[in-house]
Chains A and B, each alone.
Chain A
Amino acid sequence: MQAQETVSSQETPRKAKAAATKTFDFQEALEALKDGAKKHESLSLLERAAEHLSPEQRRPLVQRLIEQEGCSQAFAERFFDDAKFRKRVTESCRNFSEHGERMVRLEEAEIFTELMQPGSEDIAILLKTTNPQERFKQLEPLDAEDLKRNRLWDLKYQLTRVVNPREDALIREVFKNAFERVGVQYTGTDADWSAVLAKSDLLEHFLSDGPVREVYRKLTNGKKVEGLGRRIQLTWRERSDGRRIPSMHVQQMAVNPETNYVSELGFTIEHEPPQEGEGGESKRVLKDVIVVVDKDARNRNEGAEFLLGNLRLIKAYKLHEAEFTANIKVGSYVWARISDVDVPSMAEKLLPNAKAELGPKPWDEKKARGLVFRDEILPTFEKNLVTAIWSVIESIKDSKEKAAMNNVLIEDFLNTQYDALKRRALAGELSMEELVNLGKGLDVFRFNNEGEIVRPDASDADHYGHLGKAAVMGIPWKARIGLHTRSMFGLVDRLSKGTGFVSFLKKSGQKIGLALSL
């Protein structure tokens, strides 16, 4: 209101004054944005009026853009200072209008422009293609109000699962600030959460708070997420070296009303500058991909198709690389078949003591690989391995057989084969595939349809299993694949291994072109 009064009292040419008075009721303008017919008119009005304002008049508007519309300071100031920028952003905003109603979409448009560069497809196509509902017809959109509430409870629940005290303190600090920002007196009790839950607008503000969103992403990565059905977060991310890089996180979810199961596709696209101390070009990278698909869909194997469909998509987006966080949803073993561990990404996240061992960049690749295996992969792998081995041995009743199995699994596999792998891993010479191949070919256990270890002769022994496959599960390691022609052929080669590219196509009965019948 203050902004409107300031503008109204200013002596300006009649046309501009009229435009300004009308434009600077942001709520009205934003309401109009939702309405297709008035959208362009409102935006153009704002764009034209902005240049007639004095610095004093701009200040409260800049503040308003930051506080109420979610824009960053840099963006808000530039919007009023730079006419070309304003025009471009306003233009880009048209593409975002259906996905949000706040002015922050303008900034997001700017981030999108910088992130994707000319030639990338429209974001509406991106959203359509990555929407699980587009492929899985039984899925329906999630109800927005319910989901906000679920998401809040999910956040509260996830907080109880944080084990690292430092992380716990940091997250509580984020929540404390967010509670206070939305006007809730922080008590550190359930009352804070209830207060936010009680009012829809508080809930909205709390969940859209930048640090809260970041915490939510971190906490729910790799776990079932119940939240808004579609989220696009376009933000500037500060790197540790102070550089700001554009970042887009897309998360789309849909629910099967019959089972209440939520299917999800989530990923981040970032424009990564060249690594410090290294040459080369910057890259657009698809990161932290999460794919969770509803049971019914997966039983028809559409989940796989969805994943491959999205690989096509990211190629169309002129992305250079895709980094998958191999998580319990899609399976660590899968990514070991496709790609090796992405050492630079994982080394970035090593704990300070390991980083100190690694020294300054550029890092020695072998040393970095060794530390990533030592600190990020092997501890859980070993724990799982030992549990799996004991599960098998303990299941045997016959003492002779038990001793023999003990000898094979402990003496041969754990103390000899795994020990050799570990030495190579610590020396930075081991690939993920070699690690997960441990025990391959030794048919001492299988998996049933429930994912449990069963004896090979059990009636429900439906899936082959081996020690490496069992032990790698649940380890969140990052794999990276290039999205250029050579790499994609490599990917297909890996997935069709054992049958051959051409015979695989023949077997599947695919016809490639009218002239060629395989």
Chain B
Amino acid sequence: MKLELHPLQNDACRFGIDPADTRKTDIAFYDWITGKDPSKALARFMVWLLDEFKEEKDQATIRNVLDDWRWSCDADEFQSRVSVLSRLMPDSHPFHAVKNEYTGKP
């Protein structure tokens, strides 16, 4: 059985589909946004962002990011993120000084 959200009017309002798009092809976008990421688009974006982070010199910004993570992640996830950045950031990166405030290590 097929039901339409708006059987009589407003065919635009069906799963966010473009009314002009008669083939209803926005579905793939939702697959991506709900985490399937089959083309690795989001993963590649993450890698790019980590790379950008190498250019981040502001300690306050680094603290903000780590604060956000500490608030939003469980301990294991937080630790693994810190570990990734530790390995990825160049030795001179201010992250290495800041991370000690979060890990308690000198």
Hey, which bits of chain A sit against chain B, CB under 8 A? 223-224, 261, 292, 295, 298-305, 308, 311-312, 315, 328-334, 337, 384, 387-388, 391-392, 394-395, 445, 447-455, 458, 460, 462-465, 470, 473-474, 484-486, 488-490, 492-493, 495-505, 508-510, 512-513, 515-516, 518
Given known A311-B45, A384-B5, contact A224–B21 (CB-CB < 8 A)? yes
A-B contact count (CB 8 A): 218
Q: Which residue of B lies closest to A224 (CB)?
A: B20
Smallest beta-carbon distance A18→chain B, Å: 52
Smallest beta-carbon distance A220→chain B, Å: 11
Given known A451-B15, A508-B37, contact A387–B5 (CB-CB < 8 A)? yes
A496 touches B14 (CB 8 A): no
Q: With the chains together, A312 CA to B44 CA distance in Å?
A: 11
Chain B residues with Cβ below 8 Å from A462 are 27
Q: Which residue of B lies closest to A470 (CB)?
A: B5
Interface positions of B from 57 to 71, Cβ below 8 Å from A: 61, 64-65, 68-69
Any chain A CB within 8 A of the CB of B12? Answer: yes
Q: Which residue of B lies closest to A397 (CB)?
A: B1
Which of A337, A451, A512 gathers most chain B CB within 10 Å?
A: A451
Q: CB < 8 Å: which of A445, A447, A493, A513 contacts B68?
A: A493
Q: CB < 8 Å: which of B7, B13, B26, B46 contacts A496?
A: B46
B61 touches A485 (CB 8 A): yes
**Chain B: number of interface residues, binned into ranges:** 35 or more
B5 touches A333 (CB 8 A): no
Q: With the chains together, A395 CA to B16 CA distance in Å?
A: 22
Pairs of residues from A and B, 10 with the lowest C-beta to C-beta distance, nearest first: A224-B20, A451-B15, A508-B43, A301-B39, A305-B41, A474-B13, A331-B16, A295-B25, A473-B16, A304-B32
Q: With the chains together, A181 CA to B46 CA distance in Å?
A: 52
Q: CB < 8 Å: which of A298, A331, A333, A505 contacts B43?
A: A505
Q: With the chains together, A337 CA to B61 CA distance in Å?
A: 23
B40 touches A451 (CB 8 A): no
Smallest beta-carbon distance B99→chain A, Å: 15
B15 touches A486 (CB 8 A): no
Q: With the chains together, A329 CA to B21 CA distance in Å?
A: 9
Given known A304-B32, A384-B5, A458-B1, contact A515–B46 (CB-CB < 8 A)? no
Q: CB < 8 Å: which of B34, B35, B41, B47 contacts A505?
A: B47
Given known A304-B33, A391-B3, contact A473–B44 (CB-CB < 8 A)? no
Q: With the chains together, A463 CA to B34 CA distance in Å?
A: 10
Which of A333, A447, A490 gathers most chain B CB within 10 Å?
A: A447
Chain B residues with Cβ below 8 Å from A513 are 88
Chain B residues with Cβ below 8 Å from A305 are 39, 41, 44
Any chain A CB within 8 A of the CB of B98? Answer: no
Chain B residues with Cβ below 8 Å from A496 are 35, 42, 46
Chain A residues with Cβ below 8 Å from B20 are 223-224
Chain A residues with Cβ below 8 Å from B44 are 305, 308, 510
Q: What are 19 A-B contacts with C-beta separation under 8 Å? A: A301-B41, A303-B28, A331-B26, A331-B29, A333-B33, A384-B6, A391-B5, A394-B3, A395-B1, A450-B2, A452-B2, A486-B68, A489-B65, A493-B72, A495-B35, A495-B42, A499-B35, A502-B81, A513-B88
Smallest beta-carbon distance B8→chain A, Å: 9
Chain A residues with Cβ below 8 Å from B51 are 512
B4 touches A452 (CB 8 A): yes
Q: With the chains together, A329 CA to B25 CA distance in Å?
A: 10
Chain A residues with Cβ below 8 Å from B2 are 448, 450, 452-454, 458, 460
Chain A residues with Cβ below 8 Å from B34 are 464
